[in-house]
A and B are shown apart, each in its own frame.
Chain A
Amino acid sequence: QLQLQESGPGLLKPSETLSLTCTVSGGSITNSRYYWGWIRQSPGKGLEWIGHIYYSGSTYYNPSLHSRVTIFVDTSKNHFSLKLTSLTAADTGVYYCASQYDSTGYSFIFDSWGQGTLVTVSS
């Protein structure tokens, strides 16, 4: 069973850049059946999938955030990270990382989630 844990600062100012890391334990981030994703949750927009990365570095981002988001992976540390630039109050919310199992003949199964980390954007 995979365990995921988010880490990073909880309070940022408008226009700053958010950097979060998700550390994976209980399995290797280079497992070829998994992608690694970020999801956020805010009172205003509910649950929003931000994007995912494969261990090779291949990514897909939600177009709504595409110009501001980067996801990258460090296989040597078994973790992946999120960078979100030009923050506004609308980026306030709980950020989750999740494992996305690539199921043959289906799609992704979001089978393990981190506990989430609250990010507040305020001046």
Chain B
Amino acid sequence: DIQLTQSPSFLSASVGDRVTFTCRASQGIGTYLAWYQQKPGKAPKLLIYAASTLQTGVPSRFSGSGSGTEFTLTISSLQPEDFATYYCQQLNNYPFTFGPGTKVDIK
């Protein structure tokens, strides 16, 4: 299985901050990567697919980049509703796998 690691595991930030987190794959996955946001008690919500394509309805402050084994998710100006946990998922190989997540909380 392809393993995904995410860093950092936790991130404390303030409203208005620019934040970036990283997802690394154990082998090359092209751009077959998605990012999700999850809030407590809720299902994951798709933010980005194909590494950099914004899902319909997702604010433009979210952006993704990368290919191969290293990917980043950036929030250009953190909003109060963005405090959540973010997961990456690879869709290059079966079984599809998820990273362990980065939790963003309020500084």
| A residues adjacent to B (C-beta < 8 A) | 46-49, 51, 60, 62-64, 96, 98, 103, 106-111, 113-116
Q: Report A-chain residues with C-beta under 8 Å of the C-beta of B98.
A: 46-49
| Majority secondary structure of chain A interface residues (helix, strand, loop or mixed) | strand
CB atoms of A111 and B55 under 8 A apart:
yes
| Majority secondary structure of chain B interface residues (helix, strand, loop or mixed) | loop
A115 to chain B, nearest CB (A): 6
Q: How large is the interface on B (under 10, 10 to 19, 20 to 34, 35 or more residues)?
A: 20 to 34
Given B43, B94, B101, which contacts A96 in the complex, CB threshold below 8 Å? B43
How far does the alpha carbon of A116 sit from the alpha carbon of B38 in the complex, in Å? 12
B28 to chain A, nearest CB (A): 14
B5-41 residues with Cβ-Cβ distance < 8 A to A are: 32, 34, 36
